[in-house]
Amino acid sequence: MKEKDIVKIFKALSDNNRIKILYLLKEQKSTFGDIENNLELRQPTISHHIKTLREVGLIVEEKQGRNKSYLINKSQVKIIYDYFNNLVK
């Protein structure tokens, strides 16, 4: 993973609402409505944060007909984990 990609990920993680979304998705995949109900955020705010997290690959979208669910992209998180693990070796 390139350093510029790591920087983009850290920028995405620099917002408290995005961290809250990730913690919610840690437990289970969630729909947009689930996120809205659990975090009491407005639709435009959630859309912005979901877009940012998707752009850096931290979450992925699953489509089931008209419905969309979001979940953590574990492979991307593992890449980040490995990157930092190598820094402390």
Residues 42, 80: contact at Cβ < 8 Å?
A: no
pLDDT tops 80 at residue 1: no
Q: What is the mean pLDDT of the chain?
A: 92
Label residues 4-23 b or e (16+ Cβ within 10 Å = b): eeeeebeebbeeeebebbbe
User: How many CB atoms are closer than 10 A to CB 52?
Assistant: 19
What is the mean pLDDT of the segment spanning 60-88? 91
Tell whether the model's pLDDT for residue 61 goes beyond 90.
yes
Hey, what are 15's tokens? Answer: 């917002």
Confidence band, pLDDT 50/70/90 cuts, at residue 64: confident
Q: What is the pLDDT of residues 23-40, one digit of tens each?
A: 999 989 999 999 999 998
